[in-house]
Amino acid sequence: MEDLRERVEKCLGPKGLVVAMTECRGDLSVEVPKARLLDVMHLLKDTPDLEFDFLSDVFGVDNLAFYEKQKPKKKPEGEETEVKKEKGPPPPRFEVIYLLLSLKRTERLQVKVRVAEDDMEVDSVTSIWKAATWPEREAFDMFGLRFKGHPNLKRLLMWDEFPAYPLRKDYPLEGRGEERHLVYGE
C-alpha cells in the first residue's frame, strides 16, 4: 500500500486540487482551493483508495496573529525592514479545517481551505456529511464564516442577537468585546 500522502497526491494532484500539503507528527493535512471544496470532498469520499467516509469535525481558525508570531524575533534591527519587504500580500485570514477519517483504513486526513476576510463564504459540506451541521453553525457563530447551502445557518452557542464573533483573535479577553465596537456587520 502506498503512503497516504502519495495516494492523496495521486487523487487530487492531477486535477490541480492541491494547494499545499504538510505533515506534522504523522498528521497529514492538505490545503485545497476554496472554490472546489465540494469536488475535493466528493473525490476523497468516493475514490476507492481513500474512502474518507466519516467527517470527524469542522472548525475555523483565525490566523490574524499566527504569522506575526512566527516571524523570527532574533533578527538584528537593520534586517527587519528587509523582512517586511519580502512579505507579499498577507495570507488569507481564516482557515476552515475538516477532519476526515476513513473507517475502513482508520486513516485520518485534515483538509484545509483558506478564507479571506473579504470573502467569507465557503461551500457547506452538509450535503455530503450531515455531521457538519452544527460544527459549521459554530464556525459561523465564532468566526463569522458563512457556509453556502447550509440548511439552518444561525448562531449555535451564542444567542441570536450577539453582535460579535468571539473566537476571532481580535476579540479581547477582558471586558465585553462586543461593546468595544467590534461589530461585524452581516
Ramachandran category for residue 21: left, alpha or beta (phi over 0 → left; psi -120 to 50 → alpha)? beta
User: Does 98 sit near another protein (CB under 8 A)?
Assistant: no
> What one-letter code names the amino acid at 46?
D
Name which of 81 and 186 has its Cβ closer to another protein: 186
Report if residue 46 touches another protein, rule: CB under 8 A: no
Cβ at position 175, least distance to another protein in Å: 14
Choose between 14 and 160: whose C-beta lies nearer to another protein.
160
Of 97 and 182, nearer to another protein (C-beta) is: 97
SS3 content of the chain, % helix, strand, coil (to 5): 30, 25, 45
Q: Write b or e for each residue in 61-87: b if 16 or more Cβ atoms lie within 10 A of its Cβ, otherwise e.
A: bbbeeeeeeeeeeeeeeeeeeeeeeee
CB of 173 to another protein, least distance (A): 6
- CB-based contacts of 166, cutoff 8 Å, min separation 6: 142, 158, 177
Binding-site ranges for another protein (CB under 8 A): 24-25, 27, 29, 53-57, 59, 61-62, 65-66, 69-70, 97, 99, 103, 106, 108, 110, 129-131, 133-135, 142, 154-160, 166-167, 171, 173
